[in-house]
Amino acid sequence: MVLTETVPAAAPPAHEGILRRQSLRESAARTYARSLPIVPVRARGLTIEGADGRRYLDCLSGAGTLALGHNHPVVLEAIRTVLDSGAPLHVLDLATPVKDAFTTELFATLPGELAEKGRIQFCGPAGTDAVEAAFKLVRTATGRDGLMAFSGAYHGMTAQALAASGGAQHTSVVRLPYPYDYRCPFQTGGERGAELAARWTQSLLDDPKSGVSRPAGMILEPVQGEGGVIPAPDGWLRRMREITAARRIPLIVDEVQTGVGRTGAFWAVDHSGIVPDVIVLSKAIGGSLPLAVIVYREELDAWQPGAHAGTFRGNQLAMAAGAATLAYVRTNGLDRRAAELGARMLDRLTSLAAAHDCIGDVRGRGLMLGIELVDRTADADATGARPADPQLAAAVQHACLDRGLIVELGGRQSAVVRLLPPLTITDEQADAILDRLADALTAAVRTTPGPTGSSPTTMRGTSP
Ligand code: PMP
């Protein structure tokens, strides 16, 4: 494949020096910086330009944050308007016209009762803080402590910070099976697998000797993102809604990653028509700047003033950028565009899977797409799934970067190559992304030995 966008004969020293100083100074816990050794200096839409002059198509999008891509004109304009207005940039949680406009725009998009009479809590700026707030809210409202969550879920990183805080509570989280079609623990997959998962949940709640008491809330992602791009069937989501409603268990839906059109509906819950008791929002709602909120049914609003405080809950620039993003997605129907384009990209990925038997599964919803890489030399289990191949996934990510494409890895064993492009990409850009991915996959397959190290992973048929 010929890359027209690459300039680098020799990377300028600034680029290398920055990366070297980063590896010397920054924490061992740094993440994306390890697999993506680039130094972004300019960005627009889908494209990032590195300090070495190379250009990349960015399908990581700030871990799913950039609904409109980098530096979209409406976002920049909204930020400039606030800056030029002389409005205070730091206001704690005071009322401002910017916040009022953001809240109005957000509520206009929300489902059912949340739009009509939901309450909003502005949280600390990260998704994880909004998740913490949601737990605190439902614990206070129900007087119960336990939580139900799902295998493979990702909700953030603050558990240790909470445990170390003065107000730490004992947390008991009951783990439930998420309907993961490709690796269905009930070895049936499909609707039946999802139904069995739902029945397991129900029996834990109804069996007085299950060892599980009624929790303060259940939290789920409508499409697991970090867990490996696993869309929950709409029917299963409706079952979770019924099960929780019938037992007066608040249902918390974490739309931190799936929100704002990403899955082909404005909110991922819109596909199934369910209305959660609490919705957790961050990432795209800040239009690329940090912002996190929960919106919940007013009956749950039983916590006390100051119950979930925080200095940075009033980011005016994020609210302005977020309101502009929400309005742009809504008025331009970018959720529908994500549905259409995502379906076409999924088709092409399915063709890619037909040509590469190291692709165990292709899945996604809207512009949240993933391919699960597996060891083609290993035996399949009873459902046809083979062991994950994280080594190959890492090689594909690396080969993508070589070809000017930034992709994310996810999944239980980091063997899922994830695509989270902006909702604004053109058909041609979508093709360019998939061309580069296909090329990278072919190259990685040739050079990567299987997980056993014994036999090289090879291709099925010819490359598309
Ligand atoms: N929930 C989900 C579904 C997420 O994908 C993430 C981040 N990837 C979070 C919560 C945590 O958000 P943050 O990283 O902003 O704390």
What's the mean pLDDT when you consider all of the chain? Answer: 92
If asked whether residues 53 and 157 sit together in one domain, one would say no
461: in domain: no
pLDDT (average), residues 317-344:
98
Q: Residue 401: CB partners within 8 Å, gap ≥ 6?
A: 36, 38, 56
Q: Is 408 in the pocket of ligand 1 (CB under 6 A)?
A: no
Which pTM value belongs to this model? 0.93
* Domain boundaries, position 263: 74-331
Report pLDDT for 157.
87
104: in domain: yes
Among candidate residues 316, 331, 346, the one where a domain is terminated: 331
If asked whether residues 312 and 351 sit together in one domain, one would say no
Shortest-distance atom of ligand 1 to CA 128: 16
Q: Is 222 in the pocket of ligand 1 (CB under 6 A)?
A: no
273: in domain: yes
If asked whether residues 370 and 273 sit together in one domain, one would say no
Report CA torsion sign: 333, 335, 337, 339.
Answer: negative
Q: Is 156 in the pocket of ligand 1 (CB under 6 A)?
A: yes
End-to-end CA separation in angstroms for the chain: 13
179: in domain: yes
If asked whether residues 97 and 236 sit together in one domain, one would say yes
CA of 129 to the centre of ligand 1 (A): 9
If asked whether residues 258 and 387 sit together in one domain, one would say no
pLDDT in tens, 392-451: 999 999 999 999 999 999 999 999 999 999 999 999 999 999 999 999 999 999 998 766
If asked whether residues 47 and 85 sit together in one domain, one would say no
CA of 221 to the centre of ligand 1 (A): 10
Strands 217-220 and 118-122, how do they pair?
unpaired
457: in domain: no
Catalytic member of 154, 178, 182, 296: 154
Q: Using an 8 Å Cβ cutoff, are 309 and 121 in contact?
A: no
One DSSP character per residue, 298-332 reads: GGG--PPTTTT--S----HHHHHHHHHHHHHHHHT
If asked whether residues 311 and 390 sit together in one domain, one would say no
pLDDT in tens, 341-373: 999 999 999 999 999 999 999 999 999 999 999
Q: Residue 72: CB partners within 8 Å, gap ≥ 6?
A: 45, 287, 325, 328, 424
Element (H, E) at 120: strand 118-122
To the query of whether residue 154 is one of the catalytic residues in this protein, the response is yes
Name residue, tokens 């709602």.
Answer: 285
174: in domain: yes
Q: Is 227 in the pocket of ligand 1 (CB under 6 A)?
A: no
Which CATH number do you get for residue 368?
Answer: 3.90.1150.10
7: in domain: no
Element (H, E) at 252: strand 251-254
Which CATH number do you get for residue 138?
Answer: 3.40.640.10
pLDDT in tens, 263-294: 999 999 999 999 999 999 999 999 999 999 99
- How many domains are there within the chain? 2
If asked whether residues 109 and 34 sit together in one domain, one would say no
Tell me how far CA of residue 419 lies from CA of 20, 399, 407, 437, in angstroms.
28, 15, 6, 10
81's tokens: 């308007």
If asked whether residues 231 and 321 sit together in one domain, one would say yes
